Amino acid sequence: PMEKDGFDLRTSFANYWRSNWTALEIGHRGLGKSLTVTSNAAPLIENTVASMLASAEMGADLVEFDVQLTSDLVPIIHHDFSIRVCIDSKTPTSRDDLTEVLLKDISYEQLKDLKTYQIVGNKIVEYPAHNNVEPPEQRLFPTLQDFFEQVNQSTGFDIEIKWPQQKADGQFESEQTLDKNLFADRILAVVRRHGCGRLNVIKSFDADLCSLLRFKQHMYAVLFLSSSKENAFTDPRTSTVEQSVNFAQAFDLGGISPNAVFVKADPSVVQRARAQVPIVLLWGSDLKDRDSINWFLQQGPTGVIYDRLDLWLGANRTSAFEAEQDLPGYFQLQCDPAPKVRELNSTIESILSNVNFL
């Protein structure tokens, strides 16, 4: 359990999902990938406040983004486990001039002062340090708290928690030395303090992390992500939709988030999954244009996650959650009780502390 900032038993949304929340359209990293793609990059930098705000303005139902921790345990938004920096003051001209630094090994204050680089095709692209970018909404490495405070609550959050997986060849995607229990606690603490009043779902490729996230709280649905192909990772639970569903059911998760490639091979898998779990969110490169998005939606998933919302999301669209007038008040049940209730609870706790229970 969480030692502090824990969740109480006042209410639960872990399995709450309205029947009309279907065919949701979800922005991948906001408007879409931008940092490493050689073509069709999103017009705003991925995983920034600006990209999330633009997606919300266009009427996205949810936005998807990636969360991990710095060395001082600050939950930040970034997809890759590492960044590239140039140790020398010179301008890098080749990959050899760049040094890879793991995010887990650098503090947030240090990170904000670093100029970073991406290798895109044969080019090295420079990104100014976080602290040197104006307006602030366009800065790389925003915090999870920034997102909660700056993005309208009518836009849902699809929060992917990053944890390196062991690949089929035995190698890990990255190194991670932080304690998984502490890792989950620090992220959940921010979600609890700043995320109430909004539809949030939390997911991960790491099955054990998913079970931790579910056991530690019951306010938000937890989804299990599956890989883009069978046996991509050594953990068999990520290999197929069927295995993902079995795991989700066994640990009372809200659902799964499989790659669309499995649905392309067998469209009936969506309905089989939804017969067992309430939430099925598809993702992957097969969701590449309006025609393909429509085809996958016709298979009946709860929602689809895709790039370039600015191109493929319909005009004059309203978020499914903004359209439901009762939701803001309803989701306030996620928030801490009023101070008077807290005082009453403290009084009751004081009285009961002197009672010997049978």
Whether 334 contacts 13, CB under 8 Å: yes
pLDDT score of 340: 46
The model's pLDDT over 110-134, given as tens digits with 9 standing for 90+, comes to 999 999 999 999 899 999 999 999 9
For the sheet with 82-85, list strands across it. Answer: 99-102, 82-85, 116-120, 123-127
Residue type, 238: T
CA 167, CA 181: separation in Å to the nearest integer?
22
Whether 22 contacts 302, CB under 8 Å: yes
Pairing of strands 62-69, 24-28: parallel
Give the count of beta carbons closer than 10 Å to the beta carbon of residue 17.
18
pLDDT score of 5: 62
The C-alpha angle 41, 47, 53, rounded to 5 degrees, equals 95
For the chain, list residues with pLDDT below 70.
1-6, 230-231, 338-358
pLDDT score of 9: 73
CA 20, CA 229: separation in Å to the nearest integer?
30
pLDDT score of 353: 53
CA 230, CA 240: separation in Å to the nearest integer?
6
Q: Which residue has the tokens 């044969």?
A: 122
Give the DSSP per-residue string, 230-256.
TTSBS-GGGT-HHHHHHHHHHTT-SEE
CA 176, CA 105: separation in Å to the nearest integer?
9
pLDDT score of 345: 57
Backbone angles phi, psi at 24, to 5 degrees: -70, 145
Whether 13 contacts 219, CB under 8 Å: yes
Q: Give me the chain's average pLDDT, please.
A: 91
pLDDT score of 11: 81
The model's pLDDT over 187-200, given as tens digits with 9 standing for 90+, comes to 999 999 999 999 99
Residues 6+ apart with CB under 8 A from 25: 60, 61, 293, 303, 304, 306, 309, 313, 317
pLDDT score of 14: 87
Backbone angles phi, psi at 266, to 5 degrees: -150, 90
Q: Percent of the chain at pLDDT above 90?
A: 78
Domains of the chain: residue spans and CATH: 24-77+139-352 (3.20.20.190)
